[in-house]
């Protein structure tokens, strides 16, 4: 797992080259202008990044979860916000690939893998975040259709995406009453709130997704009635390790910027990089990132192989990776001094982008709950 073969190294290098050419030079401008670069996303899809771990018969790349976290880390060195959206898009495609019937797979996945159609994941609601099982969006069967009513909150890509995987209540309270639906953007009764004003992640839109009597064909039910919560949670296992990878990649970029600055900056007659105190900080940052990366690869391997401990491993990797990524990026900003606070150097953007990673895909407090349950349950 820890020594890349030639094929794995080529995949890694392709992702890094893409980030260096198409993401990094534009990241600050996209952030400032709140520009969602759909054309660049489609370039990424041309390299297989629209369906990284999707089966090949529908246009996917058929790669492993370990391949995926390496790809997302490299993409995030260019722009964590765009890398994170590609992760969400892949999670949507994976749910359809894994739980969809053949007709659903053939209908939706070619467009998602090419990113001619973008995907969004709709679980969170204004009143249901960490306690997702209490979601209130309803789907009522009416003949050959379901009628959806409710509001989803904090939905990445909303308003631009063409495909929405939506969790809605078809049965009794609790997780067993939740089902999953594939909802196209042009569905009557589907609308979107304004683009949220956010601390970071400005290069991707975040809006409410609103359902008011939205009629969805019964054929768009993903899995069976009552399968939605299980589908959502299984999707989040992958989302958690991907977002950890984005944190590690963003932090690595911030650290690289700090090292370059310290090598170029002189104070008190010497390069800042020659200060042993600063070298010790850099050594700690490198060590912490490598520890996070090692745990991440271990979790990705557990998920790929359906290991018994995959859920807690993904939770641990997400908590540790996103906390470490933010702390390293924030520390890198400090090393740049006043320049770190300026937008043109790009480090303050990374800090803002990585902060939300500690919240989404399950807050890091919830990750601790998941891990604690695995300890208590085994006692």
pTM: 0.97
Could you give the C-alpha distances from 93 to 61, 87, 120, 125, in angstroms and in order? 12, 10, 9, 21
Could you give the C-alpha distances from 233 to 18, 126, 130, 305, 314, in angstroms and in order? 31, 19, 12, 17, 11
How many angstroms separate the CA atoms of 245 and 87, rounded?
10
Q: Each residue of 25-73: pLDDT tens digit?
A: 999 999 999 999 999 999 999 999 999 999 999 999 999 999 999 999 9
Cβ-count burial 213-242 (b if 16+ within 10 Å, e if not)? ebbbeeebbbbebbbbbebbebbbbbbbbb
Q: What is the pLDDT of residue 72?
A: 98
280 with 262: CB under 8 angstroms?
no
39 with 115: CB under 8 angstroms?
no
Could you give the C-alpha distances from 190 to 116, 164, 215, in angstroms and in order? 20, 11, 9
| Lowest-pLDDT range of 131-135, 152-156, 197-201, 206-210 | 131-135
Q: What is the pLDDT of residue 121?
A: 98
Q: Each residue of 319-363: pLDDT tens digit?
A: 999 999 999 999 999 999 999 999 999 999 999 999 999 999 999
48 with 61: CB under 8 angstroms?
yes
Q: What is the pLDDT of residue 160?
A: 98
In three-state secondary structure terms, 368 is helix
Characterize the bridge pairing of strands 138-142 and 270-271. unpaired
What is the pLDDT of the chain when averaged over all its residues?
97
Phi and psi dihedrals of 179, rounded to 5? Answer: -125, 165
Overall average pLDDT of the 259-272 stretch: 96
Q: Each residue of 225-248: pLDDT tens digit?
A: 999 999 999 999 999 999 999 999
Q: Each residue of 129-138: pLDDT tens digit?
A: 899 999 999 9
Only one residue has tokens 């309270």, namely: 173
In three-state secondary structure terms, 34 is coil
Overall average pLDDT of the 139-149 stretch: 98
DSSP code, position 154: E
Task: Enumerate the active-site residues.
Answer: 361
Phi and psi dihedrals of 181, rounded to 5? Answer: -130, 145
- 336, 252, 238, 235: which is closest to 292 by C-alpha? 252
Q: What is the pLDDT of residue 54?
A: 98
Characterize the bridge pairing of strands 270-271 and 266-267. antiparallel
**Six-digit token pair at 213?**
């009597």
Q: What is the pLDDT of residue 2?
A: 85
Q: What is the pLDDT of residue 378?
A: 77
């Amino acid at each position: 797992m820890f020594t890349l073969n030639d094929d794995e190294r080529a995949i890694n290098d392709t992702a890094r080259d893409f980030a260096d050419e198409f993401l990094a030079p534009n990241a600050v401008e996209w952030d400032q202008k709140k520009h969602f670069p759909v054309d660049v996303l489609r370039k990424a899809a041309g390299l297989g990044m629209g369906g990284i771990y999707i089966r090949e018969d529908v246009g996917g790349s058929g790669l492993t979860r370990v391949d995926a976290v390496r790809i997302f880390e490299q993409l995030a060195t260019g722009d964590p916000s765009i890398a994170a959206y590609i992760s969400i898009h892949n999670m949507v495609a994976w749910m359809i690939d894994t739980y969809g019937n053949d007709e659903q797979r053939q209908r939706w996945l070619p467009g998602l893998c090419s990113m001619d159609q973008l995907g969004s994941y709709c679980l969170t609601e204004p009143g249901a975040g960490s306690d997702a099982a209490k979601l209130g969006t309803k789907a009522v069967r009416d003949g050959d259709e379901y009628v959806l009513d409710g509001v989803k909150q904090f939905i990445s890509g909303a308003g631009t995406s063409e495909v929405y995987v939506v969790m809605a209540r078809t049965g009794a309270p609790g997780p067993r009453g939740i089902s999953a639906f594939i909802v196209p953007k042009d569905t009557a009764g589907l609308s979107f709130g304004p683009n949220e004003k956010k601390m970071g992640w400005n290069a991707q839109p975040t809006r409410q997704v609103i359902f008011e009597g939205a009629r969805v064909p019964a054929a768009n039910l993903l899995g069976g009635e009552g399968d939605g919560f299980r589908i959502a949670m299984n999707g989040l296992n992958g989302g958690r390790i991907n977002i950890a990878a984005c944190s590690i990649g963003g932090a690595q970029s911030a650290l690289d910027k700090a090292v370059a600055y310290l090598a170029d900056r002189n104070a008190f007659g010497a390069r800042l990089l020659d200060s042993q105190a600063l070298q010790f900080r850099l050594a700690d940052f490198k060590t912490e990132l490598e520890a996070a990366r090692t745990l991440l690869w271990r979790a990705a391997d557990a998920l790929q192989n359906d290991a018994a401990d995959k859920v807690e491993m993904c939770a641990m990797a997400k908590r540790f990776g996103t906390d470490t990524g933010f702390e390293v990026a924030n520390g890198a900003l400090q090393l740049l001094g006043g320049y770190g606070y300026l937008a043109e150097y790009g480090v303050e953007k990374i800090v803002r982008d990585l902060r939300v990673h500690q919240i989404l895909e399950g807050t890091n407090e919830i990750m601790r709950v998941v891990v604690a349950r695995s300890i208590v349950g085994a006692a």
